[in-house]
Structures are given as structure tokens and as C-alpha cells.
Chain A
Amino acid sequence: MLWYVLRRLAYVLPILLGVSIVCFSLLHLAPGDPLTSVMPEFASEQVIEQIKRSYGFDKPVPVQYLLWLFNVLTGDLGLSQVANRPVWDELVPAMVNTFQLAAFGIGLSLLCGIGLGLLAGYTRRLVTDRAITTTAIIGVSVPHYWVGLVLIAILAVTLGLLPAMGKAPPSDGFGLNDIRHMILPAVTLALIPTGIIARSVRATVIDVRKQEFVQTLQANGLPPRRTFLHVIKNASPTVLAIIGIQLGHLVGGSILVETVFAWPGTGYLLNTAIAYRDLPVLQGTILVLATFFVMLNFLVDLAQPFLDPRMTRQ
């Protein structure tokens, strides 16, 4: 088991390093001098030199990278140029909001996805089959930021059932109003994972029911619902892996949905960073989110052997 953890770690660490290099290069991808956006508009030569030195930009790029990496590892993601505050201070509240929404969304998609998947798996017919694949294709084709707008147009604007945008003011404390604000964005976010989870649960159900021992049991009079336990056991590793990836995509991809709903999370932060070309915020947010995504998948990998004993013995 320890060997397995170490092997996974040996795979993850170089990737994290690579991710950090990509994020570091983001700043250097920017057209022109990466400092133009930091520079005061009419800076004197001296000030320019000083700023350059303070950012370490007078040193060769690999050294700059190492300095930057050291700063990042000690929790210093630089200064936001718009708010003039540490990026980290901007990022933390945004991340809390994003995770709130993501947790709500992933919970919703688990519930609906497993339900729909079981339903589809146990009532398998040719027509249902085609209908499900078509729905699944449409599901992954939907621009979810647009679904958000449609939901706003119908539920918030036309019917006036739910608030269209924003987050409930914190003064009220956490309560019903918060949930009302979260419903539309969470539903929007849950859309794609729901489809993917449903599809894989359905495939597992069909798979398990095709297995010989299950068919033998059913031939001996076992009611179909008794195969349920096997389905759950067999589906859980896959569903877990999907949740890992989808939660990452949810958090990473929430930028569009959060923009639609003006939800003050990381996506919204990114959007403002892009609008004002606040590169340190852009870089920091992407680094943290990507690291989160990698670590999430790492943890899912670690959890897999507990759910699927075949994986430890190879």
C-alpha cells in the first residue's frame, strides 16, 4: 500500500512541477513586458529599475522561476495590482464561495446522476438506449453558461421564483436566502456531471447484470433489485473517479457560470483579473485551482484501492 502511495506520488510531483512551470510562463506569455501592467504610468527610470529588482526580473528566467516557486511554496502569490492586496487574501474568500457552490452542485449531480443511471440501467430497451445516448450527447454539447442564462430568463425573470444573480448578503447569516441564491448556479453546474455520472452508472448496471454469476442468481429467482448491492460496489470506483474529475472541472470551469450569476467566487475573480489584466491574480488563481485539480485526482487515485481491491494486487 505504501509502495502504491509512493508510486502515485512519484507520478504526481513532476506534474505539479510542470503545472507550476506553465503557470509561471503565463506571466511571460503576456505580450510586451510582464511589468507594464504593474508600472506606474509615468515611472522614472529609477522606479522602473527598482520595481524590476523587487520582482526579481533583472535575473535570468530559471532563477526567476525558482524565486517565484519559493515564494509560492511559502504562500506568497504576489500582489493584486487592482486591489493592491496580496493575491492570497483575494483568493481565499473567493475559493470558499466557489467550493460552497461546487459542493452543492456535485451533491446534486450525484443524486440525480445515480438515480437516472439506475433507472436507465434497469429499464434498458432499445428506444431508451438511443434516447439516453442522444440526451447524453446533447448534455455534453450544452454551453452551460447559456443554460444559466436560460434558467435566469425562465425562473428568475419570467416566473420570478428565484433570485437571478449574486449571493445573499452575509449580514443575514446562513439560511434559506443563501440556498435560494445558490439553486440556479448549482443546477447549472450540476448539469454536465449529472449526465456523465448517469451514463457510467447505467453502463455499470448493464455490465453487472450481464455477469454470469448475476444471471445465474437471477435465473434461480433472485429479484433484480437484489443485484443492487453489486451494482453499487462495482460502480463506486468509477463514480468516485468521475466525481474527482468533475469536481475539478466544476471548480475550474465555474468561471463562466459564476460570471453569468455574478457569484463572487474564483471564476468571478478570474473574470475581473482578465478585464483589468491583473496578471498576478490570474496566475495565482489558475495555479491554485490547477493544483487543487491535480491533488483531487491524486486523492481519488489513493482511495481507489479501498473500493476496488483488484487495484492493489497487480
Chain B
Amino acid sequence: MSTPTTYAGPAPARTAEPHKRIQRTYWQAARRRLLHDPVSMGCLGILSLIIVAAIFAPWMTSYDPYTSSIVNRLKPVLSPGFILGTDELGRDMLTRLIYGGRISLLMGLLPILVATLAGGLLGIVAGYFGGKTNMVIMRVADVFFAFPSVLLAVGLAGALGAGVVNVLISLSLVFIPPITRVAEAATTQIRAQDFVEAARGTGASAPRIIVGHVLTNVSSPILTYSSSLIGLSIVLASGLSFLGLGISPPLADWGLMLNTLRQSIFLAPVNAVLPGAMILVASVCFNLLSDGLRTAMDVKP
């Protein structure tokens, strides 16, 4: 009854409604696309396998990862009882690779998580408020960005000293600046849109607009970018471990295994490069999955 009647004709969409519209939000559409991508699903499968194996490591293998055996040193791959051979102290490679995944994956994922939260927050604040706030945050980010990532990670971890927590801190610091940049760029772009102006025009406070309008739009570019860094984070974390900056023996992650087995490369080259293959597989899978995620989220809204 309150519908105005002076304008001509009914709105087209009202009549053109014979088929039932499938209710689907942006995230549902993106998930659906991701689930239909064979490469992404393959990677997800491999990663799930590695992760599940790492979590349930004690039930996955009958060997102890830390008990060495002089007799069984450097058994080649496909030896009876040792599918992937043994390491330089006679420990089952498969068992150590499964256990090693625990720390390697954690060291890859945690810094990205921390950096996404911190960098995302910094970037959104810088992008939304602009001006001096932006300048201070972005100039500091530029300084950290001026270091090659490996150098910064090595420098920080080297100064802090060996240890898992120090590696986590260093890697988080390495990844905060690039994520801040991406978040800032995305936020600046959204900030200039009329719907943000309209929201400001309603008298909404900055935090409310950031949560209600900015976050909904910048979270997907930030998340896709962050996820694309997981692979690098795993490679870097293992690299620091490889330099002896991470966990200490007899515990091991893939990087440290690569380091200790390196001495045996002339005796058992295949065994020596196996841990690196795990790093490669995990990193490639995360990167392909992230690429799939990016494509899936690239749905025109």
C-alpha cells in the first residue's frame, strides 16, 4: 500500500522471478568453487594426511623416533622394516619424518597466523585512518621490507639465539610487513568507496565501520595473501632449523633432519635429501591450495 505509484511500471525483477533463486552467500560460493577444484582438493588431501599423521604420530608407527641403533645406521630406502631407510643414528626415517612434521608445520603456520592478525590490524588501521597514522605505520613496515626476508629471519633468529620460540618471533616479524602492506592497500581502496562514506554519514563510529564494512571486504585479499605465505614460512622455518637455529636434537623437524643428514650425503644421498622432499611437498601443497583459494574467492560479487 505504501508503494509509490507514480513511476512507470513494476520493477523488472519482480516479474522475472519464475525460477527459485538459490540463496548463496559469497563465502558459500567460494567454498563450492574450491571443493570442485581437483588440484586444490588433491593438495588438501595430501596436507590432511601429513597433518593427521603428525598429530597421531605415536599411533602411526611402532618405532621410537629418538632411540638410535648403531647396527641400523643409514639403511637405504625400501630396506626390510624401514620403508624409507634409517638416518645416521639408525632411527627409522618414516617415523622421524612423521614426528618432524609436527614442528615443521607448526613453525610454518603459527608465524603466518600471528602475522595475519598483527599485520592485518596494522594495515587496516593505516589504510582506514590515513594521514600521519598511515605514514608512521607504513614507513616502519618499509624499513623491515628493506631487508631480504631470509636475511631478516636469520638476523633476528641469530641475535635472539636458537630455540623454537625465537624462530616463531623472527618469522612473525618477517611476515608482518608484507601483510600490513596488502591490508593497507586493500583498506585504502575500500575506504575510498561511497558505501564507506555513506556509513560514515550515518554517524557510525570508526570501529563499527571497520568491522561492518571494511573487514567484510578486505578479509579475502588478506587471507588469500597470507595463505600464499604459508609455503614460504615452512621453507624459511625449516631453513632456520637447517642452520641450527630452531629445535635442538634429539627432537627434530625436517630442517634439522636435513642438516644432520647432510654429513651423510656421500654415503646415503637418497636418505639425505628425503626430509627436504617433505618440506617441498608441504610447501607446494600449501601454495597450490592457496592459489586455488585465490581463484575460488575471485568470484565477481
Contacts and interface: CB of A to CB of B under 8 A. Distances in A.
Touch A–B, Cβ below 8 Å? yes
Interface of A: 14-15, 18-19, 21-23, 26-27, 29-31, 133-134, 137-138, 140-143, 145-146, 149-150, 152-154, 157-158, 164, 248-249, 251-253, 255-256, 259-260, 270-271, 273-275, 277, 279, 282-283, 286, 289-290, 293-294, 297
Contact of B149 (A22, A249, A274): A249
A18 B284 contact: no
A148 B269 CA distance: 12
Contacts of B244: 274-275
B266 interface: yes
B144 interface: yes
A141 B154 contact: no
Contact of A145 (B148, B231, B239, B245): B239
Contacts of B288: 134, 137
Given A18-B143, A26-B159, A275-B244, A248 B273 contact: no
Q: How large is the interface on B (under 10, 10 to 19, 20 to 34, 35 or more residues)?
A: 35 or more
Nearest to A17: B143
17 contacts: A22-B144, A134-B288, A140-B287, A141-B286, A142-B235, A143-B280, A145-B239, A146-B258, A146-B279, A146-B280, A149-B265, A157-B265, A251-B148, A252-B151, A256-B243, A282-B158, A289-B148
Interface in B131-172: 139-140, 142-144, 146-151, 154-156, 158-161
A282 B283 contact: no
Contacts of B148: 248-249, 251-253, 289-290, 293
A133 B279 CA distance: 20
Contact of B235 (A141, A150, A282): A141
B180 to A, nearest CB: 15
B280 A29 contact: no
B150 A146 contact: no
A145 B279 CA distance: 11
B146 A15 contact: yes
Interface string B225-238: 00000011001001
Given A255-B150, A293-B146, A294-B146, A142 B273 contact: no
Contacts of A19: 143, 146-147
Contacts of A275: 244
B234 to A, nearest CB: 8
Interface string B112-123: 000000000000
B147 A274 contact: no
A49 to B, nearest CB: 25
